[in-house]
């Protein structure tokens, strides 16, 4: 609800006292402009500003408080704005919609300044302009502080998004990001590039017989061997379930097949799980090898390697196929 600001001089001066935007501002400089402002009252939980809804006013809190939420009004409050503070100035200065939700934390009374009046106040008072610049500077510092405080958490989420939690290898999402770039680099340098798809043989019966904990340890053991056997420049990912994929930059199909056979022999038989108890897990793997053909994409290369893996499994498993 908007109401006209009282024009009584004493009331107006008491109104401005304590408001950061009007600190040191002469009442005479903005007297006429203040009469064009309004007062607005909102109740607890009422949304004042929201992304996607244009804003052409600045709101100065006379009493009560407002919460700032990013993403949704139900998200945890990023900041609490108390009496004397203002909101809405960033969207006016930037001439864009608000970037966050501003919600009443309690019944709140505000002085409302339309953007046209705001610009006239800026032209009328140097003190007002200085105060506004200080408020904007504080906003930038505050946002930088939030970013810095959450940087570690952001990096954690990024790692989780591209890393398989069980094996510590890159996951399929990372494959979709990194493999195309590496393929493009090889093509530009006229280098061959091959892909090996690996499937742990009879993993479901193994999992059913020994349980999921043993299955997880088996996959971790395979991942450890793969990490040790492939070259530093090879890109190794857990493709999903009991499947792994390895991109070999600079390796033609013949070289990739030799590498795959060495890895198969290393995995086959009994595989230590890496623990102190040195439990031995009987495992074998089937492997399909394919080389990138001229004009092919990652999808085409993946299909070729999958087809080779299919042939390996139908050849009796524990086999490398091209």
Q: 21 with 145, same domain? A: yes
In-domain check, residue 166: no
Averaged pLDDT of the chain? 85
In-domain check, residue 57: yes
Residue after which a domain boundary falls, among 88, 123, 155: 155
Helix (H) or strand (E) holding 311: helix 298-314
In-domain check, residue 163: no
Q: What is the mean pLDDT of residues 171-195?
A: 92
Q: 122 with 195, same domain? A: no
Q: Which domain holds residue 222?
A: 172-321
pLDDT in the model for residue 312: 95
Question: Cβ contacts of residue 308 below 8 Å, gap of 6+?
Answer: 197, 288, 289, 290, 321, 322
Residue after which a domain boundary falls, among 126, 155, 184: 155
Q: 119 with 207, same domain? A: no
Q: What is the mean pLDDT of residues 269-273?
A: 51
Write out 150-203 in H/E/C secondary structure.
HHHHHHHHHHHHHECCCCCCECHHHHHHHHHHHHHHHHHCCCCEEEEEEEECCH
Contact (CB, 8 A) for 245 and 198: yes
Question: Cβ contacts of residue 71 below 8 Å, gap of 6+?
Answer: none
Q: 244 with 309, same domain? A: yes
> CATH code at 10?
2.60.120.10
CB atoms within 10 A of CB 38: 16
pTM score: 0.52
Q: 66 with 134, same domain? A: yes
Q: 124 with 260, same domain? A: no
In the DSSP assignment, the letter for residue 242 is: T
Exposed (0-12), middle (13-18) or buried (19+): which is 108, by Cβ within 10 Å? buried
Q: 21 with 148, same domain? A: yes
Q: 147 with 201, same domain? A: no
Q: 228 with 279, same domain? A: yes
In-domain check, residue 228: yes
In-domain check, residue 272: yes
Q: What is the mean pLDDT of residues 163-191?
A: 90
Give me the number of domains the chain comprises: 2
> CATH code at 303?
3.30.70.270
Q: What is the mean pLDDT of residues 232-246?
A: 92
Residue after which a domain boundary falls, among 155, 186, 210: 155
Task: Return the sign of the alpha-carbon dihedral for residues 271, 272, 273, 277.
Answer: positive
Q: Please give the C-alpha separations between residue 190 and each of 201, 235, 294, in angstroms, as whole numbers.
A: 35, 19, 10
Q: 12 with 38, same domain? A: yes
Contact (CB, 8 A) for 107 and 42: yes
In whole angstroms, what is the distance from residue 319 CA to residue 312 CA? 5
pLDDT single digits (tens) 43-81: 999 999 999 899 999 999 999 999 998 888 888 888 888
CB atoms within 10 A of CB 53: 11
Q: 183 with 151, same domain? A: no
Q: What is the mean pLDDT of residues 312-322?
A: 93
In-domain check, residue 33: yes
pLDDT in the model for residue 278: 35
In-domain check, residue 143: yes
Helix (H) or strand (E) holding 82: strand 77-82
Q: 309 with 184, same domain? A: yes
In-domain check, residue 217: yes
Contact (CB, 8 A) for 64 and 105: yes
pLDDT in the model for residue 12: 54
CB atoms within 10 A of CB 299: 9
Q: What is the mean pLDDT of residues 235-242?
A: 92
pLDDT single digits (tens) 110-165: 999 999 999 999 998 898 888 888 887 777 666 655 555 555 655 655 555 788 88
In whole angstroms, what is the distance from residue 46 CA to residue 65 CA? 12
């Amino acid at each position: 609800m908007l109401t006209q600001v009282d024009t009584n001089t004493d009331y107006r001066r008491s109104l401005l006292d304590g408001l950061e935007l009007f600190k040191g501002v002469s009442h005479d400089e903005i007297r006429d402009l203040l009469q064009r402002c309004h007062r607005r009252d909102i109740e607890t939980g009422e949304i004042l500003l929201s992304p996607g809804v244009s804003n052409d006013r600045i709101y100065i809190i006379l009493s009560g408080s407002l919460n700032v939420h990013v993403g949704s009004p139900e998200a945890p409050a990023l900041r609490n704005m108390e009496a004397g503070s203002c909101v809405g100035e960033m969207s006016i200065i930037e001439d864009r919609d608000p970037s966050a939700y501003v919600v009443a934390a309690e019944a709140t009374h505000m002085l409302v300044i339309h953007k046209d009046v705001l610009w006239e106040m800026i032209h009328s008072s140097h003190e007002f302009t200085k105060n506004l610049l200080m408020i904007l500077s504080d906003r930038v510092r505050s946002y930088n502080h939030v970013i810095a405080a959450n940087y570690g958490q952001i990096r954690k989420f990024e790692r989780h998004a591209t890393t398989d939690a069980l094996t510590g290898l890159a996951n399929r999402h990372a494959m979709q990001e990194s493999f195309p770039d590496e393929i493009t680099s090889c093509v530009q340098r006229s280098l061959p590039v091959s892909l090996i798809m690996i499937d742990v043989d009879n993993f479901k019966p193994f999992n059913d017989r020994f349980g999921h904990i043993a299955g997880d340890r088996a996959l971790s053991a395979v991942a450890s061997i793969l990490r040790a056997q492939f070259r530093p420049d090879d890109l190794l990912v857990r493709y999903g379930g009991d499947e792994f994929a390895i991109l070999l930059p600079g390796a033609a199909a013949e070289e990739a097949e030799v590498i795959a056979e060495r890895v198969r022999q290393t995995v086959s038989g009994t595989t230590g799980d890496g623990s102190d108890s040195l439990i031995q897990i009987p495992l074998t793997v089937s492997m399909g090898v394919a080389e990138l053909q001229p004009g092919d994409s990652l999808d085409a290369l993946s299909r070729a390697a999958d087809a080779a893996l299919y042939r390996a499994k139908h050849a009796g498993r524990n086999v490398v196929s091209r």
